[in-house]
Amino acid sequence: MADSGHYYNEHDDRTAPFRTRKGRGPKSRPFDRSRRDRQRGNHSGGFGGPGPRSRLLEDTDGDVTMSDSSQNFCIRCNPYGRPSRKGDGRFDRERRQGSGFRADRPGGARSRLSWYKVTIPHGRKYEKKWLITALQNICAIQYTPVQYHVDHHRAHFFVEDSAAANALRRCSHKITDSDGYKVEVHVNPSNPPSFLQSDLKPEDLEHLKQCMAKRFDGSQQALDLNNIRTDPDLVSQNIEVILNRKTNMEAVIKIIEENIPELACLNLSNNRIHKLDDLTDLTTKVPNLKALNLSQNELKTDRELDKLKGLKLVELWLSRNPLCDLFKDQAAYISSAVRQRFPRLLKLDGHDLPPPIGFDVETPTAIPPCKGSCFGSDEIKSLILRFLQQYYSIYDSGNRQPLLDAYHDGASLSITTPYTSQNPSRSSLGEYYKDSRNLKRIKDSTMRFRLLKHTRLNVVAFLNELPKTQHDIASFTVDVNTYTNTLLSFTVSGVFKEVVVDGKSRESTMAFSRVFITVPAGNSGLCIVNDQLFIRMATTEEIRRAFVAPAPTPSSSPVPTLTAPQQEMLTAFSLKSGMNLEWSQKCLQDNEWDFNRAAQIFTQLKAEGKIPDVAFIK
């Protein structure tokens, strides 16, 4: 897949390869991080911790204290320029370690080989609840997703059962999202989730808890975890606390939640943190957090800050992270990286910010539920429904030539499908793609003009070449855009499927949205002057709800002759139900002309709201 000029495989979840710096060959001595840490380990305390504090940093791994006063913040640096730091490449090596378990090790064969990682490319754009529910609805085997998380554009989770993994693999391209795209599902064998690989033993956790207690300042409700990996108390016990490891960060947050849930200030500076996924729980577990120091870490993009948007921060430190180099000036840094995520922020990197402008109101983020049709008046409703019933009865009949009467002499039509970089021939939309006038795809003005169908003869000739269809009239929703005495513009949306012709059918349900611009014709008719048709693949929910209500099968052949008793029963049923003769006859025929059974089915479907309005237009 292409992303900003780079290509990558959606299956590839590995980190970028370790880059050897100039002057270091493959035979150079590996970097001994633990030896380096022990040489530097003389931490003198944090918020409220014992021991004197140095006023200045002696090296790049020194403490950065965080307090309510900007005068106490010991570093004054430009967040937009960062000195090069020796040994950055070692961080990639750390992220890759810990996955080398072999099946032949005692006690490790089952637990290590029975786990599978499920990856959803572009899964970031889906809500977790929707995605998991959609997969569980079509998966042949029930499963429990473990450690759902998002990494870049992908969503991941783990399953422990090989049968469930195989069933999930078969779910790929079986779900259609709201944009009409198929959801890919990739499944690969994996090491167990990180929380099952905890490298902190119970006795280590107790030492960590004591170390955090030493660094906690109760008077300010502040916890200083700056450069915690070199803390003498931990180093003396041979305990490594690396906060860019998920298990270590989770252990720290759990200790905070259980012992100091009222924490207001947290200093995580100088801890090699390169992602903030493990800090998302701070929103619920440390709800009173107001100040957060993330300076001198490895955050490479401001998108990482999206994972902390739920925090109501008033102070934030980001200086000396790679992301600071992305902004040309302070104004862009403040507006683009910070204020959009933390509108209440008053201090950034120890500097006062201009007061925020806005309202202290939580803005709802959920999209409101879709409502039904909007006609404006009963008169317009009757006019449009009658037009649609006539139009689609001909459109779905197999012979669309009579649609000539529906179009103006100078009418025009265009068809559009979603823009995609995928091979259109593999999609059910391939038949429509070649004529698609999607302006994002078609840049040439001459080609744009050629793809417009002009005059009613060319319009209907083009419609006759499209695949034969059956529309679900019960799925239609109509929105009136403009209404005057001389013009009526409205949009109709719904679903349809292609019918079997010469034994060929793709058996796929599609969705459409169509804008008709019409003018009055005759006494009570409409004439189309402009027709804009948009076609996409139907979503899983649209497919589930499609064609559940009885619908008359359009036919260009005359209505079969009824016997006298049938004609009498049809008239009585139409009067009793209120439906027109066409729909009344369909209901009776579906129930083998059993009046009572047809009446019972009609009552049930009407109570469920599954009978469309067009059934009652006489």
**Cα distance between residue 248 and residue 144, in whole Å:** 24
Per-residue pLDDT tens over the stretch 323-355:
888 877 777 777 667 877 888 888 888 888 877
Region class of 59: left (phi > 0), else alpha (psi between -120 and 50), else beta? beta
CA-CA distance, 284 to 45, in Å (whole number)? 28
Residue 313 has pLDDT above 50, yes or no: yes
Q: Please tell me the distance from the alpha carbon of residue 223 to that of residue 203, in angstroms, as a whole number.
A: 21
pLDDT of residue 143 exceeding 50, the answer is yes
Handedness of CA 149, 154, 157, 160 (dihedral sign): negative
The pLDDT value recorded for residue 191 is 81
C-alpha closest to that of 270 among 303, 296, 243, 307: 296
| DSSP type of residue 56 | S
Please provide the DSSP assignment of 127-154 as one string: -HHHHHHHHHHH-SS----EEEEEETTE
98 pLDDT tier (thresholds 50, 70, 90):
very low
Per cent of the chain over pLDDT 70 is 73
Place of tokens 């091979």: 423
Adjacency order of strands within the sheet including 186-189: 146-151, 154-159, 116-120, 186-189
Mean pLDDT within 134-143: 91
Contacts of 244 (CB under 8 A, 6+ apart): 91, 94, 95, 271, 272, 273, 274, 275, 298
Q: 266 pLDDT band (50/70/90 cuts)?
A: very high
Q: Identify the DSSP state of 307.
A: G
Nearest to 293 by CA among 235, 248, 327, 243: 243
Radius of gyration of the chain, Cα coordinates, nearest whole angstrom: 33
How far is residue 100 from each of residues 96, 97, 105, 115, 192, measured CA to CA in Å? 9, 7, 11, 14, 12
Give the mean pLDDT of the chain.
76
| Confidence at residue 159, expressed as pLDDT on a 0 to 100 scale | 92
Please tell me the predicted confidence (pLDDT) of residue 59: 38
Q: What is the pLDDT of residue 411?
A: 95
Distance separating alpha carbons of residues 364 and 312, to the nearest angstrom: 16
**Over the stretch 434-462, which tens digit does the pLDDT of each residue have?**
888 887 778 888 888 888 999 989 999 99
pLDDT value of residue 16: 41
Q: What is the pLDDT of residue 268?
A: 92
> How large is the average pLDDT for residues 411-418?
92
Residue 364: is its pLDDT beyond 60?
no
Provide the β-strand partners of residue 498: 469
Q: Is 461 exposed, middle or buried (0-12, 13-18, 19+ CB in 10 A)?
A: middle
CA angle 176, 181, 184 (to 5 degrees): 75
* Least confident range of 90-99, 221-230, 546-555: 90-99
Phi-psi region of 122 (alpha: psi -120 to 50; beta: other; left: phi over 0): left
The structure's pTM equals 0.41
E strand or H helix at 497, and its extent? strand 488-498
**Residue-wise burial string across 264-295, b where 16 or more C-beta atoms lie within 10 A, e elsewhere:** bbbbbbbbbbbbbebbbebeeebeebbbbbbb
CB neighbour burial string for 152-167, b if at least 16 within 10 angstroms, e if fewer: eebbbbbbbbeebbeb
Contact (Cβ atoms closer than 8 angstroms) between residue 137 and residue 129: no
Output the CA torsion sign for 338, 342, 347, 353. positive
Confidence of residue 25 (pLDDT cuts 50, 70, 90): very low
For residues 360-372, average pLDDT: 65
Exposed (0-12), middle (13-18) or buried (19+): which is 560, by Cβ within 10 Å? exposed
pLDDT at residue number 428: 66
Which pLDDT belongs to residue 453?
A: 92
Residues of the chain with pLDDT > 90, as a percent, come to 27
* Across 71-75, average pLDDT: 38
- Residue 365's pLDDT band, with cuts at 50, 70 and 90, is low
Q: Which residue has the higher pLDDT, 44 or 562?
A: 562
Question: Is there a contact between 319 and 77 (Cβ–Cβ < 8 Å)?
Answer: yes
Q: Residue 454, SS3? A: strand
Answer whether 476's CB lies under 8 Å from 486's CB: no
C-beta pairs of 487-490 under 8 Å, 24+ apart in sequence? 487/517, 487/518, 487/519, 488/380, 488/383, 488/384, 488/517, 488/518, 488/519, 488/520, 488/526, 489/515, 489/516, 489/517, 489/518, 490/384, 490/515, 490/516, 490/518
pLDDT band at 93 (very low <50, low <70, confident <90, very high): very low
Range name among 313-317, 553-557, 593-597 with the lowest pLDDT average: 553-557
> What integer pLDDT is reported at residue 392 of this predicted model?
93
Please state the separation of Cα 186 from the chain's center in Å. 17
The CA distances from residue 237 to 38, 247, 348, 551, in Å, are 11, 19, 36, 76
Burial class (CB within 10 angstroms; exposed 0-12, middle 13-18, buried 19+) of 494: buried
Instruction: Categorize the per-residue pLDDT at 498 as very low, low, confident or very high, splitting at 50, 70 and 90.
Output: confident
101 pLDDT band, cuts 50/70/90, is very low
Structural domains of the chain, ranges and CATH numbers in brackets = 116-195 (3.30.70.330), 197-352 (3.80.10.10), 378-420+427-544 (3.10.450.50), 564-615 (1.10.8.10)
Predicted pLDDT of residue 66:
39
Confidence at residue 429, expressed as pLDDT on a 0 to 100 scale: 75
pLDDT, tens only, 38-47? 444 444 433 4
Q: Of the ranges 195-204, 213-222, 228-237, 578-587, which one carries the lowest mean pLDDT score?
A: 195-204
Query: Which residues touch 610 (CB under 8 Å, ≥6 apart)?
Result: 474, 548, 549
Distance between CA atoms of residues 169 and 116, nearest Å: 11
CA pair distance 270, 174, nearest whole angstrom: 45
pLDDT band at 155 (very low <50, low <70, confident <90, very high): very high
pLDDT at 553 over 60: no
Position 197 confidence tier, pLDDT thresholds 50, 70, 90? low
Does the structure show a pLDDT above 70 at 240? yes
pLDDT, one tens digit per residue, over 42-67 is 444 334 344 433 333 333 343 433 33
The SS3 of residue 87 is coil
Q: At what angle are helices 564-577 and 581-590 packed, to 10 degrees?
A: 110
Confidence of residue 282 (pLDDT cuts 50, 70, 90): confident
